[in-house]
């Protein structure tokens, strides 16, 4: 089958690779209908991680079940399903507690597993024609048959639940004000989720005009950080107090955007932006520190965090991978009910062979390249 394969920094190709097969009785193999490119793929694409050549990318996957292992009882051939980007067992202590992003079974030595992601286990990605899904009865979320809402449902694999997770980490309540840093797909989904949860004012900080326009379109207040300190701009809009809650949907990308100069720029700006006793939800990715590791990113894992200011203001903070399974069923049902249309972020739907060019353009954040869906059937 064809798949998107990482070759070296800034280069992926579409290659023939071996077809996936049932390896465990609890596996299914799905025929991919949509697999999205994520900002998280760019960490590997730009060579900031230890990703080895040969990895098949793709952790935002949906499709139709093609084959089931002998131990699969709930999911059936022909089911239309979307997979959380987290590969999770469903029976370990963390999964039982709802923390499927931190499954203790699938990936020894690192918290949590994912498809097509360096350090997150041996699972091949779904930017391909087929994908093996482990612990399929647990991981597959069934969808209405047909092809309706394909773009909305595809976002249930990661960015919609991840955006929602950010608002859950920050415990966004009705009437509250929220500052979201990053108007990438994840930040936009966090802003959208904050509005769904009844926030009164949601500020979205970025410098990309097309992304800020999307934020405005859903009813958020765009803040262009290239026009002056975003924290001051937001304080001006909140009677000088700062917001109740803050969300980091940038992570160490901020360092790349700032020319490698200001690690932790977003977290520390959030500490300034949120009012005393507020809460922060951090879904932007910070790679773990790896002493002696090969990349700048590894150093950023131990970043220059303003602990004193954090303490002085009595802030609270939640971090980490989204536990997609905790939210995807409810978010699916909002889509089915017509109460959520997350696909407003989708900018391109492309065949698999367009991936190398799409990666380049998404990576450069070219105008109008917000969220790319790869659809092998096109
Ligand atoms: P993206 O790169 O498309 O978006 C990041 C946005 O941040 C860009 O629009 C960029 O212009 C903006 N930005 C850069 N510096 C900034 C600054 N100083 N202030 C405000 N905005 C700034 O990526 P994405 O797909 O939206 O993902 C965002 C982050 O979320 C990434 O770090 C990704 O790895 C992470 N992520 C985490 C999870 C999770 O489960 N926790 C899941 C998916 C993605
Ligand atoms: Zn993703």
Closest Cα partner for 345 from 206, 185, 208, 228? Answer: 185
Which residue's CA is minimally distant from atom 2 of ligand 1? 39
| Residue 121 pLDDT class (50, 70, 90 cuts) | confident
Span from the CA of 274 to the centroid of ligand 2 (angstroms) = 26
Q: Are residues 13 and 59 in the same domain?
A: yes
Tokens 């924290």 locate to: 231
Residue 283 contacts residue 165 (beta carbons within 8 Å): yes
pTM of the model: 0.94
Span from the CA of 224 to the centroid of ligand 2 (angstroms) = 24
Q: What are phi and psi of 373, to 5 degrees?
A: -105, 130
Q: Are residues 134 and 189 in the same domain?
A: no
DSSP tally for the chain: helices H, then strands E: 14, 17
Q: How far apart are CA 285 and CA 51, in angstroms?
A: 16
Q: How far apart are CA 30 and CA 63, in angstroms?
A: 6
Span from the CA of 323 to the centroid of ligand 1 (angstroms) = 18
CATH of the domain at 103: 3.90.180.10
Q: Are residues 60 and 136 in the same domain?
A: yes
Tokens 């994908």 locate to: 131
Which residue's CA is minimally distant from atom 34 of ligand 1? 40
* pLDDT the model gives residue 107: 72
Q: How far apart are CA 100 and CA 94, in angstroms?
A: 6
For 372, the enclosing helix (H) or strand (E) is: strand 372-374
Q: Are residues 313 and 365 in the same domain?
A: no
Q: Are residues 171 and 300 in the same domain?
A: yes
113 lines ligand 1 (CB under 6 A): no
Report pLDDT digits (tens) over 352-362: 999 999 999 99
161 lines ligand 1 (CB under 6 A): no
What does the block give as tokens for 216?
A: 């405005």
Q: Based on the structure, what is the number of domains in the chain?
A: 2
Report pLDDT digits (tens) over 78-118: 999 999 999 999 999 999 999 999 999 987 666 788 999 87
Residue 363 contacts residue 46 (beta carbons within 8 Å): yes
Q: Residue 298: helix, strand or coil by DSSP?
A: helix
Q: Which listed ligand is nearest to 208 at the C-alpha? A: 1
Q: Are residues 192 and 304 in the same domain?
A: yes
Residue 74: count other Cβ atoms within 10 Å of its Cβ. 11
Q: Residue 129: helix, strand or coil by DSSP?
A: coil
Span from the CA of 270 to the centroid of ligand 1 (angstroms) = 14
Tokens 């029976």 locate to: 91
Question: Which residues constitute the domain of residue 44?
Answer: 2-158+323-374
Q: Are residues 28 and 80 in the same domain?
A: yes
What does the block give as tokens for 132?
A: 């093996």
| Final residue before a domain boundary, out of 279, 304, 319 | 319
Contacting residues for 258 by C-beta, under 8 A, at least 6 apart: 265
What does the block give as tokens for 180?
A: 């979201």
Q: Are residues 139 and 25 in the same domain?
A: yes
Report pLDDT digits (tens) over 170-216: 999 999 999 999 999 999 999 999 999 999 999 999 999 999 999 99
Q: Are residues 53 and 193 in the same domain?
A: no
Q: Are residues 236 and 150 in the same domain?
A: no
Residue 139 contacts residue 10 (beta carbons within 8 Å): no
Which residue's CA is minimally distant from atom 24 of ligand 1? 39
Tokens 């859903």 locate to: 218
Give the mean pLDDT of 217-244. Answer: 96
Closest Cα partner for 2 from 10, 13, 11, 123? Answer: 13
* pLDDT the model gives residue 200: 98
Q: Are residues 210 and 269 in the same domain?
A: yes
166 lines ligand 1 (CB under 6 A): no
Q: Are residues 218 and 311 in the same domain?
A: yes
Contacting residues for 264 by C-beta, under 8 A, at least 6 apart: 254, 300, 303, 304, 305
257 lines ligand 1 (CB under 6 A): yes
Name the residue of 49, 182, 371 to mutate for ligand 1: max ligand atoms within 8 A of Cβ: 182
184 lines ligand 1 (CB under 6 A): yes
Give the largest CA-CA distance in the chain.
Answer: 61
Name the residue of 166, 253, 284 to mutate for ligand 1: max ligand atoms within 8 A of Cβ: 253
Span from the CA of 320 to the centroid of ligand 1 (angstroms) = 13
185 lines ligand 1 (CB under 6 A): yes
Contacting residues for 302 by C-beta, under 8 A, at least 6 apart: 289
What does the block give as tokens for 172?
A: 């966004």
| Final residue before a domain boundary, out of 291, 319, 347 | 319
Report pLDDT digits (tens) over 10-40: 999 999 999 999 999 999 999 999 999 999 8
CATH of the domain at 273: 3.40.50.720
Q: Which listed ligand is nearest to 184 at the C-alpha? A: 1
């Amino acid at each position: 089958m064809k798949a998107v394969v990482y070759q070296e920094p800034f280069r992926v190709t579409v290659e023939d690779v071996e077809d996936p097969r049932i390896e465990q009785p609890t596996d299914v193999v799905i025929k991919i209908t949509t697999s999205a490119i994520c900002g998280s793929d760019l960490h590997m694409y730009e060579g900031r991680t230890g990703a080895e050549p040969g990895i098949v990318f793709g952790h935002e996957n949906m499709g139709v079940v093609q084959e089931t292992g002998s131990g699969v009882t709930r999911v059936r051939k022909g089911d239309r399903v979307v997979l959380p980007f987290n590969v999770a067992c469903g029976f370990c202590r963390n999964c039982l507690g709802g923390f499927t992003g931190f499954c203790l079974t699938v990936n020894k030595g690192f918290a949590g597993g994912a498809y097509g992601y360096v350090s997150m286990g041996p699972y091949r990605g779904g930017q391909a024609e087929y994908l093996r899904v482990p612990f399929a009865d647990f991981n597959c979320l069934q969808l209405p048959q047909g092809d309706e809402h394909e773009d909305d449902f595809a976002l249930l694999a990661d960015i919609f639940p991840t955006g929602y997770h950010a608002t859950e980490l920050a415990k966004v309540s009705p009437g509250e004000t929220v500052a979201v840093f990053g108007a990438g797909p994840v930040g936009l989904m966090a802003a959208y989720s904050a509005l769904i949860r009844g926030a009164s004012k949601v500020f979205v900080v970025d410098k990309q005009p097309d992304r800020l326009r999307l934020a405005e379109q859903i009813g958020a207040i765009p803040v262009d950080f290239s026009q002056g300190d975003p924290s001051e701009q937001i304080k001006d809009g909140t009677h000088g107090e700062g917001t109740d809650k803050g969300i980091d949907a940038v992570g160490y990308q901020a360092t790349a955007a700032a020319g490698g100069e200001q690690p932790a720029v977003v977290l520390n700006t959030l500490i300034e932006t949120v009012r005393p006793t507020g809460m922060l939800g951090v879904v932007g990715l910070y790679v773990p520190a790896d002493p002696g590791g090969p990349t700048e990113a590894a150093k950023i894992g131990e970043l220059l965090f303003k602990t004193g200011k954090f303490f002085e203001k009595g802030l609270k903070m939640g971090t980490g991978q989204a536990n997609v399974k905790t939210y995807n069923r409810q978010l699916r049902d909002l889509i089915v009910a017509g109460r959520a249309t997350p696909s407003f972020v989708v900018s391109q739907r492309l065949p698999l062979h367009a991936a190398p060019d799409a990666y380049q353009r998404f990576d450069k954040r070219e105008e109008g390249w917000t969220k790319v869906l790869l659809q092998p059937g096109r």
